[in-house]
Structure 1
Amino acid sequence: MLIGLLVVMTGCFNVNDPINAQSEGIWDSYFVYPLSWLMIYFADMFNGSFGLSIIVVTLLIRLLILPLMIKQTKSTKAMQALMPEMQKLREKYSAKDQRTQQKLQQEMMKLYSDNGVNPLAGCLPLFIQMPILLAFYHAIMRTREIQGDSFLWFALDAPDPIILPIIAGITTFIQQKMMMVTDNPQMKVLLYVMPVMIVIFSMFFPAALALYWVIGNIFMIIQTYFITGPNVGNKKVADAKTGGKKK
């Protein structure tokens, strides 16, 4: 739904107007122009390479939202650790009547509360990233200095039909696999649907946007593996059960 909304919104703005310091409006002044300025600034530092500039700007954005992303990763890992308890509750309250289902929801919320887990915490970073992605798209399309520039094997202002979209899909799959909540049917479906959507998305949008997505995925993969660690969820639940006491 969010990707569909992004596609629709890209057509609701005029991407043919060049972006500059004189551009007016909250969207242009505070979202699009700062990204455009940053890309031009770092491109000048790298001898006019907007590809390297986009990589640097992507890393800066990821560092800016890093606290939210770490919170998302911890929440997801904590949900993984709670899956056995959640399954027991579902088996205990398996009846489909309204009263039983209400009791199940109450017990689920109590389980989350007792273990300090917010099941909606993982959604916030995604909602924050969508406006950034849209602003990045506008900055790419409306920054005239990028037009005609290339990086590695692809032109930044035109879609790369095969290689970059496949890389974007693979990195999306790996990133989601690392974050997947065990035995969650919805997440398992998303694990395969989302990479396919990203591949299609990358085939029709400028390669610079796909480059942003790939670098962001790689950053997220490294963050999940090296920063938060594979057992953060188990540790969080164990600490909650023991009251945070250390031996």
Structure 2
Amino acid sequence: MKKRLWMVLTLVSAALLLSGCSEFGQPISAESKGFWNEFIVWPLVSVIKFFADLLGTYALGIIVVTIIIRLAILPLTIKQIKSSKKMQEVQPKMKELQAKYSSKDAATQQKYQQEMMALMQNAGVNPLAGCLPVLIQMPILIGFYHAISRMNATPAFDLGTFLIFPLAEPSPVLAICAGAIQFVVLMTGPAVDNPQMKIMMYIMPLMIIGFGMALPAALPLYWVVGNIVSVIQNLVIYKPWNKNKTEATTTGGAKK
């Protein structure tokens, strides 16, 4: 079931991304037609411009809107994280069931599915709880990506600079910062305790650095700010220092 859910998420994400690809890199304005432009991209552009006019620079506008978006989806993010934590807690029992019902005959697999569902219900685990928040976030996050890229292609928007980095041009420094902070996000999140996810700790930062070096610096700036917010969320929710104390106590007890 989990694989199917992630397959659905992947297909939906691809559809959302491709829905704006025909106009990707094209100018954007209030006259731009189509659902994607009228209800996702242009509203985000308008909000960024509002804060840019209010604060004086598009860099500050992007930073503020990024923080607002992250705070708006915070309840969904917390729900997703809690679901992931519960799923990790029942992983040992899930593996026991997989070993117990390793036979592939229909009767055994039916019994396996019944006990697996009972295990998840008793533990309060809902696979959809971890996937639906991601699905809801996709239009916002992908729309933000398109908004910045298309603002960069619109002469009416002069993105200016962030510190010394022109936001309309690629910035290797901001790209590397975005990748480095993404690594910290993964180190402070559930992936660090999941052997199957650990590979992402190395692939995701490299992907962000690679994309960031080829894209306008406004996008790595968005990633940097968003990832900083994610690190703070992980520190508050996961409290990795408590985990380290628990591991030290367990190790010390084992040595005795």
Judge same fold: TM > 0.5, yes or no.
yes
CA distance 1:5–1:209, change in 2 (3 Å) = farther
Q: TM-score, normalised by structure 2?
A: 0.76
Shift of 1:184: 4.6
Aligned to 2:62: 54
Matches of 1:148 and 1:44, distance apart in 2: 11
CA distance 1:123–1:164, change in 2 (3 Å) = farther
In the TM superposition, structure 1's runs of 4+ consecutive aligned residues that sit over 4 Å from their partners are 1-10, 96-99
Deviations 1:19-63 (A, max 9, x none): 23x33332222111211111111111222x111110100011111
2:42 corresponds to 1:40: no
Letter of the 1:25 partner, please give it. Answer: G
- Residues paired across the two proteins, number: 227
CA distance 1:31–1:194, change in 2 (3 Å) = same
CA distance 1:7–1:201, change in 2 (3 Å) = farther
Matches of 2:38 and 2:167, distance apart in 1: 23
Structure 2: gaps of 5 or more residues: 1-9, 241-256
Q: TM-score, normalised by structure 1?
A: 0.78
Aligned to 1:84: 92
2:11 corresponds to 1:23: no
CA distance 1:87–1:150, change in 2 (3 Å) = same
Aligned to 1:180: 191
C-alpha contact 1:43 1:53 (8 A) present in aligned 2: yes
Letter of the 2:190 partner, please give it. Answer: M
Letter of the 2:86 partner, please give it. Answer: A
Secondary structure, aligned partner of 1:120 = helix
Shift of 1:5: 6.3
Deviations 1:138-192 (A, max 9, x none): 32233345435111232212222x222222222222223312273452x233333
C-alpha contact 2:48 2:62 (8 A) present in aligned 1: yes
Aligned to 2:235: 225
CA distance 1:216–1:99, change in 2 (3 Å) = farther
Shift of 1:117: 0.9
Shift of 1:116: 1.0
Aligned to 1:164: 174
Task: Please identify, of 192-201 and 73-82, the stretch whose mean Cα deviation from structure 2 is larger.
Answer: 192-201
**Where do 1:101-140 residues align within 5 Å?**
101-140=109-148
Matches of 1:201 and 1:7, distance apart in 2: 15
Letter of the 1:38 partner, please give it. Answer: V
Shift of 1:222: 0.9
Shift of 1:72: 0.6
Normalized per residue, the structure richer in helix is 2
CA distance 1:166–1:4, change in 2 (3 Å) = farther
Matches of 1:139 and 1:108, distance apart in 2: 43
Letter of the 1:81 partner, please give it. Answer: E
Matches of 2:181 and 2:34, distance apart in 1: 35
Structure 1: gaps of 5 or more residues: 232-247
Deviations 1:59-98 (A, max 9, x none): 1111111111010111111122222222322332334555
Higher relative contact order (CA 8 A, sep 6+): 1
CA distance 1:193–1:229, change in 2 (3 Å) = closer
C-alpha contact 1:112 1:118 (8 A) present in aligned 2: yes
C-alpha contact 2:81 2:130 (8 A) present in aligned 1: yes
C-alpha contact 1:148 1:157 (8 A) present in aligned 2: yes
Q: CA RMSD in A?
A: 2.8
2:224 to 214, 219, 239: 214
Matches of 1:168 and 1:148, distance apart in 2: 19
